[in-house]
């Protein structure tokens, strides 16, 4: 006898359940197997009353589905819409694959003696600080010296593409959120979910959807994970713009478009840049996880360190990621500081 | 005052703040007060049956304490706030019927605004801020720079064009605000507590600057303030608001001498009347006979007359306007006018009615 027989008996559903619970034709549960091996019905003391879960219900009534049916149902459901979904999503995301492939190709084709000075030049243009340029030179010099140059460039290529895509998508979404409370109400739970969902979890459906050899697989995973801060901070930044200034813009007859381009975005820029900085940091964190699904770069080395217990490789490639993170963070922060100085009140 | 044309005319304007203003408006029209409306229906009565005519080329000051609805009222003039009911006529157009495009045109070219907290664009230079109106209309910096620089020079900011607003002091920032309003070349300037955020000395400077500019440019200025001294210094026409209703409006001297409600008497009690009242408001009719201690101008303040008489109350003066005698000022009368108490006003009632008609006459003469 199962614990919850009384529910089905009480509701008069015994007929719907079919034969009594014992000789069920469905899947066998662990408890049933244990009961069989011990040869007798397990006597359940009130202290051990099971939670009225799907499995416990199933014991009392065979027609009640097991929890296993739920997960397999989800899987079948996803698989059945997979093809339809793929027809829509595949072409939409194809440019991401191209962009990633091109970026990887460019970063590896350009020889180091052009690439490193170029990166130094970019960091100077953005930050106007010679100290930072020196840091960039030292970090890339070190990574090149220990033969991690091409891995580093691959990681950098992926981050450039993903961070740019995040900004290109995230800033407009943030603007839409700032302009309409309804959009904000819809977006905030989605952003919360993206931020808290373990990255591995959305890797799983992505693997089903795309082939593992496609770069867009890890591209999408990185973008989903890293887009949140830039969206949130764009929304926040625009909402925080001094309402008096907005009123002045209205009073002098600005159109909505003029207000957005000439007032709101420039004044929200410090916040937007802080979002970009966070987005870059998060995509760097995700690059390691994405190497599980064939993302090239330093993450592959970290993974090798874990898989085959090569401690030295794991530590050194970890250090490489830290160096990259420091450079990217300092350069974007220096850019942010420059914006702040020109706007401080 | 009747001879000047009316630039802006507000008719039966109501504003009710809340979720569902229309039924609440009906209650207000049926006579419900502000406190009751808030308590029973949770709607805030912002403006209650406002009727104001704003004369062209003059400074109209709207005065009231905080919560009286003055900032709400000025924002109705360029529709930063939409009214619940009523009409706002500007140059014979009801601006509440304007489309968005027409409204933007009006805000760009016909009405400018100066704000209490300056509201300059922090990422633009002073020159670019001053040229906001032409830049919104699509002109580039080279085209509007001369005009903007001219007005910056005029408000005393010559050579500061390349600075950023945060590098300037509060008073200078508000000068940029005024230059910005002037560069738009609009006839109407709305000033929302424009000088309230400044410290007293700078505020006096700015008031003088505004009076100077006004004498030169004759814009239609609508000025909001909670400070009666400021109101009396600037106003050609004074409107006093309380709880969203107009309690009294008219020529400031007239309001000072004939407060219509106890509320205004309280206000007026703390004022340095000698500095505010003009000779024309207290003088008697001109009689050819008699001796006078000297000639004074009709626009002199009582303070200057007291200084001239060295406090001798036995004197009387001949009042001149444009070289012609228009009245006679007895020093005793002057001293009486300095005392705001109700009793003195009551005792003087017959004399006062004479005074009133006199001041109305001189007003008419002045405005010609």
Find tokens 């005074």 and name the residue: B355
A54 lies in which domain range?
A: 5-65
How far apart (Å, rounded) are the C-alpha atoms in residues B220 and B59? 6
How far apart (Å, rounded) are the C-alpha atoms in residues A127 and A125? 6
Q: What number of C-beta contacts closer than 8 Å exist between A and B?
A: 67
CB of B178 within 8 Å of a chain A CB? The answer is no
pLDDT-based confidence at residue A185 (cuts at 50, 70, 90)? very high
Contacts with A, B 80-109, CB within 8 Å: 80, 103-109
pLDDT confidence of residue B341: 55
pLDDT confidence of residue A139: 93
Which residue from A minimizes the CA distance to B170?
A345
CB of A22 within 8 Å of a chain B CB? The answer is no
Which residue from A minimizes the CA distance to B169?
A345
State the average pLDDT over residues A207-217. Answer: 84
Residues A188 and A263 in one domain: yes
Measured between beta carbons, the chain B residues lying within 8 angstroms of A265 are: none
Q: What is the DSSP-derived secondary structure letter of residue B166?
A: G
Q: Considering A20, A48, A65, which residue would you say is the last residue of a domain?
A: A65
Dihedral, CA of residue B347, residue B348, residue B353 and residue B356, to nearest 10: -130
Residues A13 and A52 in one domain: yes
CB of A254 within 8 Å of a chain B CB? The answer is yes
Residues A17 and A124 in one domain: no
Residues A84 and A43 in one domain: no
- Beta-bridged to residue B188, according to DSSP, are B111, B220
User: Between A231 and A82, where is the model more confident?
Assistant: A231
Q: Please judge whether A252 and B184 are an interchain contact, meaning their C-beta atoms are less than 8 angstroms apart.
A: yes
Say which range, A28-37, A123-132, B158-167, has the weakest mean pLDDT.
Answer: A28-37
Q: Please judge whether B103 and A245 are an interchain contact, meaning their C-beta atoms are less than 8 angstroms apart.
A: no
CB of A80 within 8 Å of a chain B CB? The answer is no
Å between A190 CA and nearest CA of chain B: 30
Average per-residue pLDDT in chain A? 86
CATH of the domain at A153: 1.10.3720.10
Measured between beta carbons, the chain B residues lying within 8 angstroms of A245 are: 119-122
A327-331 contacts: CB < 8 A, separation 24 or more? A327/A123, A327/A135, A327/A136, A327/A139, A328/A159, A328/A280, A328/A281, A328/A284, A329/A277, A329/A280, A329/A281, A330/A127, A330/A132, A330/A135, A331/A122, A331/A123, A331/A126, A331/A127, A331/A132, A331/A136
Cα B69 to its chain centre, rounded Å, is 15
For A48, counting Cβ atoms within 10 Å of its Cβ (0-12 exposed, 13-18 middle, 19+ buried), the class is exposed
Which residue from B minimizes the CA distance to A248?
B119
Residues A236 and A272 in one domain: yes
Say which of A252, A255, A343 has its CB closest to residue B122: A343
Q: Please judge whether A248 and B108 are an interchain contact, meaning their C-beta atoms are less than 8 angstroms apart.
A: no
Measured between beta carbons, the chain B residues lying within 8 angstroms of A247 are: 80, 115, 119
Measured between beta carbons, the chain B residues lying within 8 angstroms of A258 are: 136
Residues A24 and A90 in one domain: no
A151 neighbors A320 (Cβ within 8 angstroms): yes
Domains identified in chain B and CATH numbers: 54-269 (3.40.50.300), 273-367 (3.90.1280.20)
Q: Please judge whether A250 and B107 are an interchain contact, meaning their C-beta atoms are less than 8 angstroms apart.
A: yes
Average per-residue pLDDT in chain B? 84
Q: Please judge whether A251 and B132 are an interchain contact, meaning their C-beta atoms are less than 8 angstroms apart.
A: no
Tens of pLDDT, residue by residue over A79-131, are 888 888 888 888 888 899 999 999 999 988 999 999 999 999 999 998 888 99
Q: Please judge whether A244 and B107 are an interchain contact, meaning their C-beta atoms are less than 8 angstroms apart.
A: no
Mutate to test the interface with A, among B125, B126, B136, B164 (most CBs of A within 10 A): B136
pLDDT confidence of residue A40: 59
The CA-based angle B352-B356-B360, given to 5 degrees, is 165
Residues A122 and A34 in one domain: no
Å between A122 CA and nearest CA of chain B: 24
How many domains, chain A?
2
Q: Hey, how many other C-beta atoms are within 10 angstroms of the C-beta on B26?
A: 12
Say which range, A158-162, A201-205, A313-317, has the weakest mean pLDDT.
Answer: A201-205
Say which of B103, B112, B122 has its CB closest to residue A252: B112
Q: What are phi and psi of B49, to 5 degrees?
A: 50, 65
Å between A233 CA and nearest CA of chain B: 19
Tens of pLDDT, residue by residue over B270-324, are 777 887 788 878 887 777 666 777 788 887 888 888 888 887 878 888 888 887 8
Residues A266 and A156 in one domain: yes
Residues A18 and A133 in one domain: no
Residues A61 and A195 in one domain: no
CB of A250 within 8 Å of a chain B CB? The answer is yes
Which residue from B minimizes the CA distance to A263?
B121
CB of A245 within 8 Å of a chain B CB? The answer is yes
State the average pLDDT over residues B214-220. Answer: 90
How far apart (Å, rounded) are the C-alpha atoms in residues B127 and B162? 6
Å between B109 CA and nearest CA of chain A: 8
**Which ranges in chain A belong to alpha helices (H)?**
5-10, 14-17, 30-38, 54-60, 67-109, 112-127, 130-145, 149-179, 181-196, 199-209, 215-240, 243-251, 256-259, 265-290, 298-307, 311-343
Measured between beta carbons, the chain A residues lying within 8 angstroms of B80 are: 247, 250-251
Say which of A247, A258, A345 has its CB closest to residue B136: A258
Tens of pLDDT, residue by residue over A304-331, are 999 999 999 999 999 999 999 999 999 9
How far apart (Å, rounded) are the C-alpha atoms in residues B66 and B68? 5
Q: Please judge whether A253 and B104 are an interchain contact, meaning their C-beta atoms are less than 8 angstroms apart.
A: yes
Residues A59 and A93 in one domain: no
Å between B101 CA and nearest CA of chain A: 9
Residues A206 and A154 in one domain: yes
pLDDT confidence of residue A140: 93
CB of A339 within 8 Å of a chain B CB? The answer is no
pLDDT confidence of residue A247: 92
Q: Please judge whether B115 and A242 are an interchain contact, meaning their C-beta atoms are less than 8 angstroms apart.
A: no
CB of B220 within 8 Å of a chain A CB? The answer is no
How far apart (Å, rounded) are the C-alpha atoms in residues A51 and A26? 21
How far apart (Å, rounded) are the C-alpha atoms in residues A247 and B344? 47
State the average pLDDT over residues A51-75. Answer: 85
pLDDT-based confidence at residue A19 (cuts at 50, 70, 90)? low
pLDDT confidence of residue B190: 93
Which residue from A minimizes the CA distance to B77?
A251
pLDDT confidence of residue A288: 86
Q: Please judge whether B80 and A251 are an interchain contact, meaning their C-beta atoms are less than 8 angstroms apart.
A: yes
B53 neighbors B6 (Cβ within 8 angstroms): yes
Q: Please judge whether B80 and A267 are an interchain contact, meaning their C-beta atoms are less than 8 angstroms apart.
A: no
pLDDT confidence of residue A127: 85
Say which of A250, A253, A345 has its CB closest to residue B122: A345
């Amino acid at each position: 006898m199962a614990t919850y027989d009384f529910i089905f008996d009480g509701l008069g559903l015994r007929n719907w359940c079919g034969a009594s619970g014992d000789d069920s034709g469905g899947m066998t549960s662990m408890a049933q197997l244990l009961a069989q091996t011990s040869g007798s019905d397990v006597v359940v003391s009130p202290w051990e009353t099971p939670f009225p879960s799907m499995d416990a219900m199933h014991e009392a009534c065979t027609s009640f589905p097991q929890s296993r049916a739920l997960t397999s149902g989800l899987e079948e459901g996803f698989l059945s819409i997979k093809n339809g979904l793929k027809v829509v999503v595949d072409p939409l995301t194809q440019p991401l694959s191209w962009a990633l492939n091109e970026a990887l190709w460019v970063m590896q084709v350009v020889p180091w003696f052009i690439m490193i000075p170029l990166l130094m030049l970019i960091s100077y243009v953005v930050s106007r600080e010679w100290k930072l340029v020196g840091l960039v030179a030292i970090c890339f010099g070190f990574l090149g010296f220990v033969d991690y140059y091409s891995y580093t460039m691959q990681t950098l290529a992926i981050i450039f593409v993903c961070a740019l895509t995040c900004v290109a998508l995230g800033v407009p979404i943030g603007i839409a959120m700032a302009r309409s409370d309804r959009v904000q109400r819809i977006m905030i739970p989605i952003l919360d979910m993206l931020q808290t969902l373990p990255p591995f979890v959305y890797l799983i459906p992505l693997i089903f959807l795309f082939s593992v050899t496609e770069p867009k697989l890890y591209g999408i995973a990185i973008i989903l994970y890293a887009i949140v801060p830039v969206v949130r901070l764009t929304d926040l930044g625009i909402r925080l713009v001094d309402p008096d200034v907005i009123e002045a813009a209205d009073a002098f007859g600005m159109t909505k478009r003029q207000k957005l381009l000439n007032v709101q975005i420039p004044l929200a820029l410090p916040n937007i840049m802080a979002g970009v900085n966070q987005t870059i940091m998060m995509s760097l964190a995700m690059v390691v996880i994405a190497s599980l699904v064939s993302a090239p770069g330093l993450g592959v080395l970290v993974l090798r360190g874990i898989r085959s217990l090569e401690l030295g490789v794991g530590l050194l490639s970890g250090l490489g990621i830290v160096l990259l993170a420091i450079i990217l963070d300092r350069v974007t922060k220096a850019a942010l500081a420059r914006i702040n100085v020109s706007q401080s009140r | 005052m009747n001879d000047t044309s009316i630039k802006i005319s507000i008719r039966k304007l109501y504003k009710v703040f809340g979720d569902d203003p229309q039924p609440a408006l009906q209650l207000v029209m049926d006579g419900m007060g502000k406190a009751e409306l808030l308590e029973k229906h949770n709607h805030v009565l912002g403006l209650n049956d406002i009727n104001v005519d704003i004369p062209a080329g003059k400074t109209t000051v709207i005065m009231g304490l905080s919560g009286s609805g003055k900032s709400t009222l000025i924002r109705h003039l360029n529709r930063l706030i939409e009214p619940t009911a009523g009409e706002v006529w500007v140059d014979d157009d009801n601006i509440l019927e304007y489309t968005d495009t027409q409204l933007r045109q009006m805000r760009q070219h016909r009405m400018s605004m100066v704000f209490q907290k300056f509201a300059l664009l922090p990422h633009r230079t002073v020159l670019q801020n001053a040229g906001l109106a032409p830049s919104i209309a699509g002109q580039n910096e080279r085209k509007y720079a001369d005009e903007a620089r001219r007005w910056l020079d005029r408000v005393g900011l010559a050579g500061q064009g390349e600075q950023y607003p945060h590098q300037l002091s509060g008073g200078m920032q508000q000068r940029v605000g005024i230059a910005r309003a002037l560069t738009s070349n609009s006839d109407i300037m709305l000033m929302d507590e424009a000088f309230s955020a400044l410290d007293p000395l700078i505020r006096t400077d700015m008031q003088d600057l505004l009076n100077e500019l006004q004498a030169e440019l004759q814009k239609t200025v609508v000025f909001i303030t909670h400070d009666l001294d400021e109101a009396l210094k600037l106003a050609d026409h004074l409107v006093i608001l309380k709880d969203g209703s107009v309690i009294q409006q008219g020529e400031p001297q007239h309001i000072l001498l004939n407060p219509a409600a106890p509320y205004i008497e309280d206000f007026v009690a703390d004022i340095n009347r000698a500095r505010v009242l003009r000779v024309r408001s207290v003088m008697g009719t001109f009689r050819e006979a008699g001796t006078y201690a000297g000639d004074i101008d009709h626009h002199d303040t009582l303070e200057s007359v007291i200084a001239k008489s060295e406090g001798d109350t036995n004197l009387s003066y001949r009042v001149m306007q444009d070289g012609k005698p228009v009245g006679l000022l007895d020093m005793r009368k002057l001293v009486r006018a300095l005392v705001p108490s109700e009793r003195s006003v009551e005792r003087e009632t017959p004399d006062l009615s004479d005074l009133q008609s006199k001041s109305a006459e001189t007003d008419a003469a002045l405005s010609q």
